[in-house]
């Protein structure tokens, strides 16, 4: 149940904003568990990587391949903490360098594309209420999307939004792989609201990560609503003082619509 204090906070913000920007992963879309007898995307990526290298006589034990991808995720994490954008090409290059192998550029591009597009084999699952809330928000506010990307680039996420019939709701779509920076870098927020012609305080940003979404929005001058996930990643380490805390986008819609 929404408290009276939450309603009052939302009412105060509602009187100041003209636009709302949303995070993608963990805010609009949830990653679903696969059946136990089905290969995960991670397993299929590893197998495809192994098969591609094998075409050129490079064979490695599974543990060494897994070590290469642990190195990639550490590389990604280091860049993320510096608010530097990264993509699948960076990841494949880091894995190849770790294994000290080279493959032709055309085959590397094919490998990168497989890693980028494998998620298109399914439609990512929206959180309950998102499919109804976003079009309703779009009737009252100008909407933007601000998403950090890694293996899955902006063009693929646009396709996922299209499949869910939500792409048309967003006037701006900002992806870290295209900007060259990740949240909380101010450029991510600046590019999102620039077409709206509004001051930062006229925008509400909604996201599930305190150290990227809430920190970035507050530092840029936007209002910030946190999708309450206290045990996820580094959320429990520091409180960046969101203006509003909600359980979901559906709850936000109840407060604002």
Q: Where are the alpha helices (DSSP H) in the chain?
A: 4-14, 41-54, 62-81, 88-99, 105-117, 130-140, 154-163, 176-179, 186-193, 215-220, 249-256
Which tokens is 25 given?
Answer: 């992963």
Length of the chain: 257
CA distances from 34 to 30, 41, 124, 225, 231 (A): 13, 9, 12, 30, 22
List the domain boundaries for the chain.
Answer: 4-32+124-256, 41-121
Residue 124, pLDDT > 90, answer no
CB 140 within 8 A of CB 255: no
Q: Of the ranges 39-43, 110-114, 161-165, 190-194, which one carries the lowest mean pLDDT score?
A: 39-43
Which tokens is 146 given?
Answer: 């601000």
State pLDDT tens for residues 58-98. 999 999 999 999 999 999 999 988 999 999 999 999 999 99
**What's the pLDDT at 2?**
83
What is the average per-residue pLDDT within 110-130? 92
Strands 29-30 and 125-126 come out as antiparallel
Fold type of domain 4-32+124-256: Rossmann fold (3.40.50)
What is the average per-residue pLDDT within 8-30? 96
Residue 119, pLDDT > 90, answer no
What is the average per-residue pLDDT within 211-238? 92
Residue 35, pLDDT > 70, answer no
**What's the pLDDT at 235?**
81
User: Which residues are paired to 244 by β-bridges?
Assistant: 225
3-state secondary structure of 126: strand
What is the average per-residue pLDDT within 93-113? 97
State pLDDT tens for residues 158-180. 999 999 999 999 999 999 999 99
**What's the pLDDT at 233?**
78
The single-letter DSSP state of residue 127 is P
CA distances from 240 to 2, 13, 16, 217, 234 (A): 22, 17, 21, 10, 12
- For the chain, what is the total number of helices (H) and then of strands (E)? 11, 8
State pLDDT tens for residues 146-163. 999 989 999 999 999 999
User: Which residues are paired to 225 by β-bridges?
Assistant: 206, 244
Residue 47, pLDDT > 90, answer yes
37 — pLDDT class (breaks 50, 70, 90): low
Residue written as tokens 């779009």? 138
Residue 36, pLDDT > 70, answer no
What is the average per-residue pLDDT within 191-198? 98
**What's the pLDDT at 34?**
52
Q: Of the ranges 83-87, 185-189, 194-198, 205-209, which one carries the lowest mean pLDDT score?
A: 83-87
């Amino acid at each position: 149940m929404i408290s009276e204090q939450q309603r009052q906070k939302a009412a105060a913000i509602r009187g100041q904003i003209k636009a709302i920007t949303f995070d993608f992963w963990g805010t609009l879309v949830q990653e679903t568990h696969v059946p136990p007898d089905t290969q995960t995307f991670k397993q299929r990526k590893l197998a495809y990587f192994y098969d591609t290298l094998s075409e050129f006589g490079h064979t490695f034990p599974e543990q060494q391949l897994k070590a290469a991808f642990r190195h990639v995720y550490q590389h990604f994490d280091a860049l993320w903490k510096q608010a530097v954008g990264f993509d699948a090409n960076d990841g494949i290059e880091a894995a190849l360098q770790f294994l000290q192998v080279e493959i032709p550029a055309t085959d590397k591009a094919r490998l990168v594309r497989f890693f980028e597009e494998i998620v298109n084999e399914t439609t990512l699952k929206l959180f309950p209420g998102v499919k109804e809330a976003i079009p309703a928000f779009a009737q009252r506010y100008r909407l933007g999307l601000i998403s950090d990307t890694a293996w899955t680039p902006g063009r693929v996420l646009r396709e996922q939004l299209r499949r869910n019939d939500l792409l048309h709701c967003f006037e701006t779509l900002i992806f870290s792989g295209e900007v060259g920076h990740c949240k909380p870098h101010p450029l991510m927020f600046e590019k999102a609201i620039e077409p709206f012609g509004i001051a930062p305080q006229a925008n509400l940003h909604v996201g599930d990560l305190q150290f990227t979404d809430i920190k970035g929005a507050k530092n840029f001058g936007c209002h910030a609503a946190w999708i309450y996930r206290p045990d996820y990643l580094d959320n429990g380490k520091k409180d960046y003082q969101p203006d509003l805390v909600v359980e979901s986008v559906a709850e936000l819609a109840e407060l604002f619509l």
